Amino acid sequence: MDEVRLARAYLSRVAEPPAGALGVLVEHLGPVESAELVRRGEVPRAVLDETSARVGQDIAAEDLAKAADAGIRLVTPEDDEWPAWALLPLANARDRGLRWAAPPLALWVRGPALLDDAVRRSAAVVGARAASAYGEHTAAEFAYELAGQSVTIVSGAAFGIDGAAHRGALAARGTTLAILACGADISYPAAHTTLLDHVAKEGAVISEYPPGTTPAKYRFLVRNRLIAALAVGTVVVEAGRRSGARNTAASAAALGKAVLAVPGPVSSPVSQGCHDLIRSGTATLATSVPDILEAIGAIGDLPDPQAPPPPRPTDGLSPQALQLHDALSRATPTTPEHLARASGVPLGRVRALLPELELTGLATRAEEGWLGT
Amino acid sequence: MDEVRLARAYLSRVAEPPAGALGVLVEHLGPVESAELVRRGEVPRAVLDETSARVGQDIAAEDLAKAADAGIRLVTPEDDEWPAWALLPLANARDRGLRWAAPPLALWVRGPALLDDAVRRSAAVVGARAASAYGEHTAAEFAYELAGQSVTIVSGAAFGIDGAAHRGALAARGTTLAILACGADISYPAAHTTLLDHVAKEGAVISEYPPGTTPAKYRFLVRNRLIAALAVGTVVVEAGRRSGARNTAASAAALGKAVLAVPGPVSSPVSQGCHDLIRSGTATLATSVPDILEAIGAIGDLPDPQAPPPPRPTDGLSPQALQLHDALSRATPTTPEHLARASGVPLGRVRALLPELELTGLATRAEEGWLGT
């Protein structure tokens, strides 16, 4: 077992994420030397703050063995699959208003997905636990279609929107990543054990917490920054006015990423958070998968539902021509004189406009007058 | 019968609205002299274009008598109740992209509402004819609440959203104005005869077309500019991607007025137009009556639903204090040493933070340790 991985495993056990000061130390001295200095307590005050409480929990070999038994590998910045480009922006995200900044020191990963590949074309689909049927349906539908377009679906495995998003992606045989606020060996919520096993089989269950770590409120906030960072864009399907999904959206915005929100009925409390995000300009309104593909820069050759509606034959007409066209009957031929009075268009103009309408197929000449079409 | 009113009635019959050139002539020479010149055909070419087709329909006295019989009065710019400030911006609205510009020459009004008073505090509530139950419910609810706040509801008396808006306002015993694309003596749609009679009893049915004028496609577009102009702001409740309501919204935007759109389920075709309006920035998202009151500058002392949610006791806590608070059990007293390991916060900080949490009521001291609350 290599010493770098052992050092990273030790630091992952010792420091509660996010550990920004420790991260800077490791960046400068490397994980092996940093771990040694942490063990001896010979580190700057800020790093001591992040490490002293658990400094004696020197059980990296055990953790790695236990993880391996559960099918979990430790992915570190030294590995090829480390998505550095996605995680590095967390390092200075505090300046941009992200309270829980700092990249993870390592990630515990259960599943075959290679992180770097998986997140290159990805969307976080997140939202309320107490979602509505509309929200769950929309999340599953969007995730299904996105996964069908080779977009990895990142979410948090919670009840409601998160679960629906994972399920939608799995139904399309796509890749989905579940980022947990507890050890990757723990199924939380317990009712999602089968779902998480399925995610771990097809994509990956990911955590920055060592095996056995239990979920905690604080850890959900810290975890949300990882969801935001690992996805190219974040889609909030439903969210209460105060919710984890809004926290994830705020993290994505602080990281300069695309944030989208799905509207819903104004009477639905779980759409309120989405409406607030749109109104405040934090999120753009998303109603379809092409909206999302466009926002994450993954637009393919799908038809654009925002394309202008097909033109009508009357679109190019002048106001007078429109007035005249309105006055034409489809059933009874009408004389130019009558058309002038009915439309208010001068007779001379009526005589000039009728052949123009005929050319564009909007009028036909009959024996006793003109017909509209 | 005064000659000004007779002149306006004649011009209203002769020129199909909007008649911009005629309007300019009337503004310079007054209605009486303008009518006389129109009769004689001694007018500039642009005015001739607007008047020559019906110049011989000199039946103003008949029209006014017929109108009076139907309870309709002709309101003109010379009358005190003429809402000049609302209608004048139509004069140069063509420069701002409004195709159907020009103020009306006069308005035929059935109902007790005095126009100037009625529109001073007003909102247009408009939308799809083929509305959903959600849309009709929302329109009626918003109109009811707005009318209860003394806001006049302006709409177009169509099936669907328009009808629901009028009904909501009437249910609140508020003022509502129906602007028609046909004569004010014609009930269109016919199934809304009772509704229009009710509107005429409590508010007003308004048209720029003389009695007996039948509706036409072109007239709906022309009418929509009046709805937009007569209301301080326009609320689109539901609209297809191509609809009259979007046309009204575009008119309101061209007039520099507040435009709001109500979101709905992404699966609902009649919400697509609203979502497009929000996405393009033409409309702001509206989910509640206070949103609308704010946009039309009529906010009273209603509670603001957009106010930030009430703070939680843990809101002000530092990350370490939050970590510590998460680690506290509500049931089992825990020692500072255990709390340090569980939270990752150094023991010294744990000892300092616990009394702070106690002061804010988030922790209590027990004999064997500390409890969370």
* B236-290 tens-digit pLDDT: 999 998 888 999 999 999 999 999 999 999 999 999 999 999 999 999 999 999 9
B234 touches chain A (CB under 8 A): no
A265/B264 Cβ within 8 A: yes
Q: Is the pLDDT of residue B304 over 70?
A: no
Pick from B218, B260, B320 the residue to mutate for testing the A interface (most A CBs within 10 Å): B218
Q: Where in chain B is the domain with CATH 1.10.10.10?
A: 319-372
Q: What is the pLDDT of residue A269?
A: 96
Q: Is the pLDDT of residue B301 over 50?
A: no
To the nearest 10 degrees (0 to 180), the angle between helices A336-343 and A347-359 is 100
Looking at per-residue confidence, does A244 or A137 come out higher? Answer: A137
- Residue A205's alpha-carbon distances to A75, A115, A156, A200, in angstroms, are 12, 11, 9, 5
CA distance linking residue A152 with residue A83, whole number of Å = 14
CB within 8 Å of chain B, chain A residues 245-264: 262-264
- Chain centroid to CA B350: 57
CB within 8 Å of chain A, chain B residues 308-347: 309, 319-320, 322-323, 325-327, 340-341, 343-347
A327/B216 Cβ within 8 A: yes
A344/B54 Cβ within 8 A: yes
Phi/psi for A234 (5° steps) reads -120, 130
A284/B53 Cβ within 8 A: no
B285/A279 Cβ within 8 A: yes
Average pLDDT over chain A reads 93
Say what the ipTM of the complex is: 0.84
A99 touches chain B (CB under 8 A): yes
Q: Is the pLDDT of residue A301 over 50?
A: no
B48/A100 Cβ within 8 A: no
Q: What is the pLDDT of residue B373?
A: 84
Phi/psi for B153 (5° steps) reads -100, 120
Phi-psi region of A65 (alpha: psi -120 to 50; beta: other; left: phi over 0): alpha
A276/B263 Cβ within 8 A: no
Instruction: For residue B93, name the pLDDT band (cuts at 50, 70, 90).
Output: confident
Provide mean pLDDT across the span B293-304.
73
**Mind listing the pLDDT tens digit for each residue in A321-355?**
888 888 898 888 999 998 998 888 999 889 989 98
B134 touches chain A (CB under 8 A): yes
CA distance linking residue B213 with residue B318, whole number of Å = 71
Angle at A204 between CA A200 and CA A209, to 5 degrees: 105
Pick from A266, A282, A330, A341 the residue to mutate for testing the B interface (most B CBs within 10 Å): A266
B241 touches chain A (CB under 8 A): yes
Residues of chain A positioned with their CB less than 8 A from the CB of B246 = none
Q: Is the pLDDT of residue A197 over 50?
A: yes
Pick from B47, B275, B288, B350 the residue to mutate for testing the A interface (most A CBs within 10 Å): B275
Looking at per-residue confidence, does A150 or B330 come out higher? Answer: A150
Average pLDDT over chain B reads 93
Give B117 to chain A, closest Cα distance, Å: 31
Residues of chain B positioned with their CB less than 8 A from the CB of A11 = none
A326/B217 Cβ within 8 A: yes
CA distance linking residue B233 with residue B85, whole number of Å = 14
A216/B327 Cβ within 8 A: yes
B44 touches chain A (CB under 8 A): no
| Residues sharing a CB contact under 8 Å with residue B166, sequence separation 6 or more, in sequence order | B143, B153, B155, B157, B176, B178, B195, B198, B199
Q: Is the pLDDT of residue A309 over 70?
A: no
Q: What is the pLDDT of residue A110?
A: 98
Q: What is A319-372's CATH topology?
A: Arc Repressor Mutant, subunit A (1.10.10)
Nearest CA in chain B to A18: B319
Confirm if A59 and A69 have CB atoms less than 8 A apart. Answer: no
Which DSSP helix (H) or strand (E) runs through B74? strand B72-75
- Chain centroid to CA B53: 36
Q: Hey, is B116 helix, strand or coil? A: helix
Provide mean pLDDT across the span B114-133.
97
- Residue A266: which of B288, B322, B326 has the nearest Cβ? B288
Q: Where in chain A is the domain with CATH 3.40.50.450?
A: 70-295
B152 touches chain A (CB under 8 A): no
Give A112 to chain B, closest Cα distance, Å: 31
A264/B287 Cβ within 8 A: no
Q: What is the pLDDT of residue B300?
A: 57
Q: What is A70-295's CATH topology?
A: Rossmann fold (3.40.50)
Q: What is the pLDDT of residue B308?
A: 58
Pick from A52, A142, A218, A335 the residue to mutate for testing the B interface (most B CBs within 10 Å): A218
A16 touches chain B (CB under 8 A): yes
Whether the CA torsion B323, A110, A67, A76 is positive or negative: it is negative
A217 touches chain B (CB under 8 A): yes
- Residue A347: which of B53, B346, B350 has the nearest Cβ? B53
Q: Is the pLDDT of residue A170 over 90?
A: yes
